[in-house]
Amino acid sequence: MIDFSLRISIFLVAFSSLMAWQWYSPRGTLLQWRQRWRHNLILLMLGALCVRLIQPVLLSIVALSNQGEGWLTQLGLPLWALVLISILLLDCLIYWQHRLFHRVPLLWRLHRVHHSDPELDVSSAIRFHPVEIVMSLCIKATAVWLFGIPVEAVLIFDVLLNASAMFNHTNVRLSPRLEKWVKVLVVTPDMHRIHHSRISEEANSNYGFFLSIWDAFFGSKRPEAMNGDEGLNIGMPGTKAYQPNTLGDLLLMPLKNFKKSRKSE
Ligand SMILES: [Zn+2]
């Protein structure tokens, strides 16, 4: 949210490292990657453009209206403690925001663009409708304004959230031993794949993008897929085989009605 050039550099390093990882050690064969990557990269560029246009306005509003003051700053804690609490707060907020985007029908219309990816790999992490990206930015700016979250925390959290979201969409599998330990704290690809199931009950679980503690704490954790990993059918929940074929399908998806899509809401 703050330093765009630093963020874009870290994004490129993380994205290309994960891309190399899934290239050398893929979890499964990707049959539609050419079309998916074209769509996902265009969505990334549209989203980045919206962020570039709106972010300075939002930052000015936040800076002018609270001048660094908020609930957190009144606690008088050292910076490291403020940063730690802010990261936990922001991640919990993202967890509930994600849950809300699944539960509220109008918001689900936007978020289902992300879930319409028929395969999962690192590029799925950048597949969001630009309107959802703008809404997410406004929600985060409100939290920064309300709590007086320090800029250092916003920057660190943005990097952590992006890297983690890319990691848990990557087409790789951790060794069972590593999986066991990593998922105690951080969402793994095994966990997040279940969230991308076409079965609504599975899609309405494992909402975390960075820390895995919120799903455990708020009762939405699903450690195993109903039909096992091999039986997990990735795609838009509530539909058997729907997938968008053009960029227009993706951008106009919020306006469309799907026969069975309410099942997932
Ligand atoms: Zn989701």
pLDDT tens by residue, 145-179: 888 888 888 889 989 999 999 999 999 999 999 99
Measured in Å, residue 207 CA sits from the centre of ligand 1 at: 6
Measured in Å, residue 176 CA sits from the centre of ligand 1 at: 25
Measured in Å, residue 111 CA sits from the centre of ligand 1 at: 7
pLDDT of residue 243: 81
Burial class (CB in 10 A: 0-12, 13-18, 19+), 5: exposed
- CA 254, 41, 99, 154 dihedral sign is negative
Measured in Å, residue 131 CA sits from the centre of ligand 1 at: 15
Please state the separation of Cα 105 from the chain's center in Å: 18
Measured in Å, residue 73 CA sits from the centre of ligand 1 at: 32
Query: What's the mean pLDDT in 175-186?
Result: 94
* Secondary structure letter of residue 27 according to DSSP: S
Q: Are 13 and 20 in contact (CB under 8 A)?
A: no
pLDDT of residue 66: 67
Q: How far apart are CA 58 and CA 53, in angstroms?
A: 10
Measured in Å, residue 98 CA sits from the centre of ligand 1 at: 6
Q: How far apart are CA 71 and CA 204, in angstroms?
A: 32
C-alpha distances in Å from residue 147, one per residue of 138, 154, 159, 161, 224: 14, 12, 20, 19, 36
Residues 6+ positions from 189 with CB-CB distance below 8 Å:
27, 120, 167, 168, 169, 170, 171, 172, 173, 174
Measured in Å, residue 113 CA sits from the centre of ligand 1 at: 9
Measured in Å, residue 45 CA sits from the centre of ligand 1 at: 20
Measured in Å, residue 117 CA sits from the centre of ligand 1 at: 11
pLDDT of residue 195: 97
Measured in Å, residue 18 CA sits from the centre of ligand 1 at: 21
Q: Are 206 and 192 in contact (CB under 8 A)?
A: yes
Please state the separation of Cα 249 from the chain's center in Å: 21
**95-110 pLDDT, tens digit each:** 999 999 999 999 999 9
